Chains A and B, each alone.
Chain A
Amino acid sequence: MTSPTTEPGFNFAYLDEQTKRSIRRALLKAVALPGHQIPFSSREMPMSYGWGTGGIQVTASVIGQDDTLKVIDQGADDTTNAVNIRRFFKKVCGVETTERTEEATLIQTRHRIPETPLTEGQVMVYQVPMPEPLYFIEPSRTKANKMHALEEYGPMYVRLYEDVTRFGRIALSYDYPVIVGDRYLMNPSPIPRFDNPKLHMNPALQLFGAGREKRIYAVPPYTKVKSLDFEDYPFQVEHWAQPCEFCGATNSYLDEVVIDDAGQRMWICSDTDYCNQRQAAQPEAKLNAWENL
C-alpha cells in the first residue's frame, strides 16, 4: 500500500524514534487518565505554532504504513492547513490519504468532528491551541494543576453563571468545557459547541496534542463526556433556521459564506466530505451550486 517515494533523508513520519517513544509514553498515560493533561517534550516542527504542531507530533507518533490519513481544517479537506499537513505526511510516510471519513483510519482535525459517525478502530487527532480549561480563570499552571488535583471546578461554573446573568444564556460557542469520565475538566479544543455531544461515548479513540503548550490528553472510546451546564440552563447545541444550500442537510454544522460584494450570503455545510457525499447521492440537488453563483 505504501508509495515507494517517501522523502529521502527523513525518518518515517519525520520525528526521530527517541522523540516518538517519549510522545508514545505520554499518549499511553493520557489514555489511562481520560481528560488529564500530560506534559510532553514538544519538538520544533517544520511549521509555526498555531498551525497544528501538537496534532502533527501526535499523528507522527501514531501513524503506520497501513494507515489511511484524513486531515480536516474547520471541517474542510481542501483548505491550506489541511492540504499541507496531508501532503506532509504523504511525503514523510508515503501513506494513503483520503477525504472520505469512513475510509480513514486516522483523522487529524482542526476544530471539527466529522458529521459522518466515527467507528471503532478509528483514531481522531485534535490540534489544540490552549489545553488548559482553567487558564482564563487561573493563569498559573502550578495553581491550575492543584485545582485539577482537588477537582476544584467551582470557578468554571461561576464563569458560566456570569454568562447567564449577563446574556441570559451560556454564551460559549466553542471550546465549551466538559467533564471527562466524571473526573477531569477538559477543553475539547476549539470545536464548536455543536460537536460536544459527539465526544460522548464515541467509538473512536480521541487524542489531543497542544504543541506550543506542550500537553497531550485523550478521551478513550466509550467514555463519558459531559458538557457543563445548570439544571435550569441545560446544555444546548446551535441550530440554524435554514438547511445547507448545497446538500439540504438540516442536521450538520453550517458556515456562513459571503458570496458577493452586495452582502449576499449563503449557508453551507462546514464538513465538505459530508456535503459532497450527500450531493452525489441526490443528483437533482443543487450539484453545481458554485457555478450558479
Chain B
Amino acid sequence: MITQLPGFANPVHDAQRTFRALLDALARPGLIQTTAHVAPPDGLAPSCAAAALTLLDLETTVWLQPSFSEDARAWLLFHTGCRFTIDPQTADFALIQDLATAPSLFAFSHGTAEYPEASTSLLIQLPDLENGEAVMLQGPGIKDSICITLPLTVNYWQQWQAMTEGYPLGLDAWYFAGDRVLGLPRTARVQGSEFKVQSFQS
C-alpha cells in the first residue's frame, strides 16, 4: 500500500524548523516547542509526524507500536525509507502511540558503556502536554528546577527515575501532542521520593 498523503510542504526549511524545535526541546527540558506543519495520516500526531520526517531515513531502524495503522506505516516508509523492526532492543527510534500498552522503558536499548549514544530514542504521542500530575525535574538545561504536568502515570515516572540512575546509559524521549513537543533527555531527573523504586525488569 502506498500513501496518498504528502510530507513537508518545504522539505528543507520545515525539517530545519522541526529539528530546532527538537533540539531546543532536549536542550531545555520541560519547555514546550512548536514543530513545522505537516498533514499526517490517521493515528500520527502532526508534531510526531514532523519529527519522523526530520529524523528518520534509510539509515535508521524504527520500532513502530503495533497499534499504528497501516496508513501510518506506509506514510513513514514512503517519505523516510526507514527500516522497521519488531525488536525494540535494536531500534534507533521507537514510535509510541499508547503508552499504557507499550513495553516498559527497559525493553528498549540503553546503549553501551562506551557508546551510550547507541540507545533508542522514544517518540511518544500523548493526548496533551499539560494537565497531568505535576512533576519536578532537575538536570542539565534546567536553570534550577522545572515543574511539568505531562499526563503520565506514577508508574511511568518511577520507570523514568530508575532509568536515569543508569546514566550515561539511558533513553531520550520526546512527547508530542498536536503541533507541540516537549523533550526529556536521560539527564532529566525526577525529584520526589514517591518515584523511588527498587528495580525494574523488562
User: Residue-by-residue, is A14-44 near B (CB-CB < 8 Å gives 1, otherwise 0)?
Assistant: 0001101110111111111110101000000
Does A62 sit within 8 A of B, measured CB to CB? yes
Q: Which residues of B contact A148 (CB under 8 A)?
A: 114
Of the listed stretches B9-17, B69-77, B83-91, B154-162, chain A binds: B9-17
Q: Which residues of A contact B54 (CB under 8 A)?
A: 21, 24
Does A65 sit within 8 A of B, measured CB to CB? yes
Q: Which residues of B contact A120 (CB under 8 A)?
A: 28
CB pair B140–A181 under 8 Å, yes or no, is: yes
Does B97 sit within 8 A of A, measured CB to CB? no
Task: Identify B12's interface contact among A11, A25, A150, A222, CB under 8 A.
Answer: A11
Does A114 sit within 8 A of B, measured CB to CB? no
Residue numbers of A with Cβ under 8 A of B are 11-13, 17-18, 20-22, 24-34, 36, 38, 61-65, 120, 145-146, 148-150, 181, 183-184, 203, 205, 220-224
User: Residue-by-residue, is B106-136 near A (CB-CB < 8 Å gives 1, otherwise 0)?
Assistant: 0000000111110001000000000000000
Contacts A11-B12, A20-B19, A222-B140 known; list 9 others, CB within 8 Å. Answer: A18-B57, A21-B55, A26-B117, A32-B185, A36-B117, A64-B16, A220-B28, A221-B28, A222-B141
- A-B Cβ contacts below 8 A, count: 104
Task: Identify A28's interface contact among B57, B168, B172, CB under 8 A.
Answer: B172
Complex Cα gap A149–B167 (Å): 11
CB pair A149–B114 under 8 Å, yes or no, is: yes
Task: Identify A12's interface contact among B12, B143, B172, CB under 8 A.
Answer: B12
Does B61 sit within 8 A of A, measured CB to CB? no
Q: Which residues of B contact A38 (CB under 8 A)?
A: 117
Q: Which residues of B contact A222 (CB under 8 A)?
A: 140-143
CB pair B27–A205 under 8 Å, yes or no, is: yes
Which residue of chain B is the closest to A66 with respect to CB atoms? Answer: B17
CB pair B17–A64 under 8 Å, yes or no, is: yes
Q: Which residues of A contact B115 (CB under 8 A)?
A: 145
Does B22 sit within 8 A of A, measured CB to CB? yes
Complex Cα gap A181–B22 (Å): 21
CB pair A28–B140 under 8 Å, yes or no, is: no
**Are A17 and B15 also in contact (CB < 8 A) when A28-B26, A181-B140 are?**
yes
CB pair B143–A24 under 8 Å, yes or no, is: no
Which residue of chain A is the closest to B113 with respect to CB atoms? Answer: A149
Which residue of chain A is the closest to B22 with respect to CB atoms? Answer: A28
User: Residue-by-residue, is B1-39 near A (CB-CB < 8 Å gives 1, otherwise 0)?
Assistant: 000000000011101110110111011100000000000
Q: How far is the CB of B186 from chain A (nearest CB, A)?
A: 6
Highest count of chain B CB atoms <10 Å: which of A31, A32, A33: A32
Q: Which residues of B contact A62 (CB under 8 A)?
A: 19-20, 23
CB pair A64–B13 under 8 Å, yes or no, is: yes
Q: How far is the CB of A88 from chain B (nearest CB, A)?
A: 17
CB pair B114–A220 under 8 Å, yes or no, is: no
**Are A21 and B185 also in contact (CB < 8 A) when A34-B140, A221-B141 are?**
no
Task: Identify B57's interface contact among A21, A30, A150, CB under 8 A.
Answer: A21
CB pair B140–A220 under 8 Å, yes or no, is: yes
Q: How far is the CB of B151 from chain A (nearest CB, A)?
A: 23
Task: Identify B172's interface contact among A32, A34, A150, A224, CB under 8 A.
Answer: A32
Q: How far is the CB of A103 from chain B (nearest CB, A)?
A: 18
Does B59 sit within 8 A of A, measured CB to CB? yes
Q: How far is the CB of A61 from chain B (nearest CB, A)?
A: 8
Which residue of chain A is the closest to B116 with respect to CB atoms? Answer: A33
CB pair A28–B23 under 8 Å, yes or no, is: yes
Task: Identify A223's interface contact among B22, B117, B141, B168, CB under 8 A.
Answer: B141
CB pair B141–A12 under 8 Å, yes or no, is: no
Which residue of chain B is the closest to A26 with respect to CB atoms? Answer: B117
Q: How far is the CB of B104 from chain A (nearest CB, A)?
A: 20
Complex Cα gap A63–B23 (Å): 12
Q: How far is the CB of B160 from chain A (nearest CB, A)?
A: 14
Does B187 sit within 8 A of A, measured CB to CB? yes
Q: How far is the CB of B42 from chain A (nearest CB, A)?
A: 25
